Amino acid sequence: MSDNAASQRAFNFSAGPAALPLSVLQEVQEEFLCLPGAGASLMELSHRGKHFVEIIEQAEATLRSLLGVSDEYAVLFLQGGAALQFSMIPANLLRGTEATAQYLLTGSWGKKAIAEARKEGNVDVVYDASETNFNCVPSASDYQVSDDAAYLYYCSNETIQGVQFPEEPTCPESVPLISDASSDFLCRPLPINKYGMIYACAQKNAGPAGVTVVVIRRDLLERGSESLPGYLQYRNHAGGGSMWNTPPTFAIYVLGKVARWLADDIGGLDAMEKQNQEKSRLVYDAIDASNGFYKGHAVPECRSLMNVTFTLPDDEMQTRFLEEAAENLLVNLKGHRSVGGIRASIYNAMSREGAETLANFMKDFAAKNG
Ligand SMILES: *Cc1c(COP(=O)(O)O)cnc(C)c1O
CA of 159 to the centre of ligand 1 (A): 8
Identify the pLDDT of residue 260: 98
**Which of 218, 238, 265 finishes a domain?**
265
Question: Could you tell me if residue 193 is inside a domain?
Answer: yes
What gap in Å lies between CA 283 and CA 360, rounded to an integer?
Answer: 9
Question: Could you tell me if residue 79 is inside a domain?
Answer: yes
Q: Is the CB of 164 under 6 A from ligand 1?
A: no
CA of 115 to the centre of ligand 1 (A): 14
Pair (164, 296) in one structural domain = no
**Which of 265, 295, 318 finishes a domain?**
265
CATH code, domain with 306: 3.90.1150.10
**Which of 233, 265, 297 finishes a domain?**
265
Pair (139, 258) in one structural domain = yes
Pair (250, 297) in one structural domain = no
Write the pLDDT tens digit of every residue in 140-189.
999 999 999 999 999 999 999 999 999 999 999 999 999 999 999 999 99
Task: For residue 330, give its domain range.
Answer: 268-369
Pair (70, 164) in one structural domain = yes
Pair (49, 162) in one structural domain = yes
Radius of gyration of the chain (CA): 21
Percent of the chain with pLDDT over 90: 96
150 burial level (CB within 10 Å; 0-12, 13-18, 19+):
buried
Let me know how many helices (H) and strands (E) the chain has, helices first. 10, 14
**pTM of the shown model:** 0.97
Other CB atoms within a 10 A radius of the CB of residue 57 amount to 12
Q: Is the CB of 155 under 6 A from ligand 1?
A: yes
Q: Report, as residue numbers or ranges, the catalytic residues.
A: 109, 180, 204
Identify the pLDDT of residue 279: 98
Pair (75, 221) in one structural domain = yes
Count of structural domains within the chain:
2
Report whether pLDDT(1) > 60.
Answer: no
Q: Measuring from atom 5 of ligand 1, which residue has the nearest CA?
A: 82
pLDDT-derived band at 2, boundaries 50, 70, 90: low
Pocket test for ligand 1, best of 103, 105, 182 (most atoms within 8 A of CB): 182
Report whether pLDDT(271) > 60.
Answer: yes
> What's the mean per-residue pLDDT of the chain?
97
Write the pLDDT tens digit of every residue in 287-345.
999 999 999 999 999 999 999 999 999 999 999 999 999 999 999 999 998 888 999 99
Question: Could you tell me if residue 12 is inside a domain?
Answer: no
**pLDDT greater at residue 110 or residue 1:** 110
Pair (176, 87) in one structural domain = yes
Atom of ligand 1 nearest to the CA of 85: 9
Identify the pLDDT of residue 337: 85
Q: Please check whether residue 345 is in contact with residue 307, taking contact to mean a CB–CB distance below 8 angstroms.
A: yes
